[in-house]
Structure 1
Amino acid sequence: MSIHIGIGGWTFEPWRGTFYPPKHLQKRELEYAGQHLTGIEINGTYYGSQKPESFANWAASVPDGFKFSVKASRFTTNRKLLADGAGSIEKFLTQGLTRLGDRLGPIHWQFMATKKFDRDDFARFLDLLPDTQDGLKLRHAIEVRHESFRDQAFIEMLRERNMAIVYADSDEFPCIDEQTADFTYARLQRSQEDVETGYDDKTLDHWGDQARDWAKGDRDVFIFFISGAKVRNPAAAQALIAKLR
């Protein structure tokens, strides 16, 4: 099984002394996270472009087998007509993210909760997403947050393109539980601050069973603990990794 479990980002002050040891060097936080987790969702790329050298340095800071997902720029998804976003998509994909090399996991395309399903426009947008970049295979995970996407036409257009619907376990947004690709991408968003591991043991057992089920048939699985009680997310990720081992 290839199951990668982690958190969103690695720089968060409340993690210093809870996840990172006291007085741990900030410049070595990613290295530490790479030793204790198996994946990280890079969120900074949503807000702005990064330098190619940054991607290369991030890749060099984590061990073999570690995977980064990369959150697509907001300028690619937060627009009235998605099909008009070719230039923004190209800018995002050519900023140097392929310098991650074999540490590159899926690209995470997140849409606002106000974005409704327009079949033709969405199909044209998906057609803009390439299968490769700089000779590196790309995998695309699509996170939608409006009930109108609970439509078989949407599900089938992703299945035809081998793109994953993000499984979003959240109190705020709909969860579309459909497997449409040869990998699964899940974002778990219900951690609780009064639970040391973010989720109680029974719930972590559930997600361990779910991860194994998703991984059947050699499917890669990416699970990220996001939002909720953010201070507890590294502990939740480590607890789930321990259960799967």
Structure 2
Amino acid sequence: MAVARVGTSGWLYPPWRGVFYPKKLPHRRELEYLSGRLATVEINGTFYSLQRPDSFRRWHDETPDGFTFAVKGPRFVTHMKKLADVETPLANFFASGVLALAEKTGPLLWQLPPSLGFRPERLAAFFARLPRSSDEAAWLARRHDDRMTGRALLVNDTDRPLHHALEVRHGSFQTPAFGELLREHVISLVVADTAGRWPKMFDVTADLVYVRLHGDAELYTSGYSETALDEWANRIRGWLADGHDVQVHFDNDVKVHAPFDALALAGRLRA
């Protein structure tokens, strides 16, 4: 049976304290609190810098059985290198502790910058480098460079499949050739709701449908109305009925809408 998981993009937001998080809740317990109410969360810190194995182990241990983490790939790969010549940066990323998430490893998210258009050859080469299992990730991690010496995790507990999702932000991706390329490499297209700023595409290209809800009226700021949540719930039910797992992350965090919208959508899907 296909499964839908609903959560947020990140969890360490000061404005959430005393609004979503109870007053006086220690900051170190915020992930524990969120994971007791939602099914998944995106790790955003991996986008900005390489983390450490102890951090991944702690996140794993602070969350309940059945909880999963989507892991955002580093901007060094997507925004600075623009997917080219990235074998060593990918090795460093997978050596940084991702394998410690073990059975709680969710999809890996790769978000492209608005400046990067559809370049099929570059995309295909990048997709070919991505590990499709935790064993492949461990093999790749062993090819890290010297900056990871003494802080790398290079083994996993058992082999598991890895799923990848790509979020794009350039109009040139709105071509059938893009969907065909994603299907060929079994990469999920991220359905991104960005208040009209970047393309919103609904092409299903893999078994997993990945949805990021950044705000439908104002980017990162606006909450979703009851009507909008009903529409997303109906759309998700359709994907589930077709046998697709669905991953949904709310990124409208600025005014603390994200966790409450996630709870409201999850409640609709349970009804």
Band the TM-score falls in, shorter-chain normalisation: over 0.9
* Partner amino acid, structure 2, of 1:234: P
Which residues of structure 1 form unaligned runs of 5+? none
Q: Secondary structure at the match of 1:105?
A: strand
Alignment of 1:155 with 2:179, yes or no, is yes
Q: 1:12 to 1:177 in 2, by over 3 A?
A: same
Write the mapping of 1:1-245 to structure 2, written as runs, cut at 5 A: 1-79=2-80, 82-134=83-135, 135-171=159-195, 172-190=197-215, 198-227=223-252, 229-245=254-270
Cα-to-partner distance string for 1:52-78 (whole Å, 9 max, x where unaligned): 121111111111221110000011112
- Cα RMSD of the aligned pairs, angstroms, is 1.8
TM-score w.r.t. the length of structure 2 is 0.84
Q: Secondary structure at the match of 1:65?
A: coil
Q: Distance in 1 between matches of 2:216 and 2:17?
A: 18
Q: Secondary structure at the match of 1:227?
A: coil
Q: Distance in 2 between matches of 1:230 and 1:75?
A: 28
Mean alpha-carbon deviation: is it higher for 26-35 or for 73-82?
A: 73-82
Which residues of structure 2 form unaligned runs of 5+? 136-158
Q: Secondary structure at the match of 1:224?
A: strand
Q: Distance in 1 between matches of 2:124 and 2:29?
A: 42
* Partner amino acid, structure 2, of 1:76: V
Q: Distance in 2 between matches of 1:208 and 1:177?
A: 14
TM-score w.r.t. the length of structure 1 is 0.93
Q: 1:87 to 1:38 in 2, by over 3 A?
A: same
Q: Secondary structure at the match of 1:109?
A: strand
Q: Judge conservation of contact 1:182–1:219 (CA < 8 Å) in 2.
A: yes
Give the drift of 1:243: 1.2
Give the drift of 1:230: 4.4
Q: Judge conservation of contact 1:191–1:233 (CA < 8 Å) in 2.
A: no
* Partner amino acid, structure 2, of 1:28: R
Q: Distance in 1 between matches of 2:246 and 2:68?
A: 11
Cα-to-partner distance string for 1:24-83 (whole Å, 9 max, x where unaligned): 111111000001111101100001111112111111111122111000001111245623
Q: Secondary structure at the match of 2:209?
A: strand
- Identity of aligned pairs, percent? 41
Give the drift of 1:161: 1.5
Q: Distance in 1 between matches of 2:62 and 2:92?
A: 25
Q: 1:102 to 1:28 in 2, by over 3 A?
A: same
Cα-to-partner distance string for 1:97-148 (whole Å, 9 max, x where unaligned): 1211111110000110010111211111111111113333210000111011
Give the drift of 1:229: 4.2
Q: Distance in 2 between matches of 1:227 and 1:205?
A: 17
Q: Distance in 1 between matches of 2:73 and 2:82?
A: 17
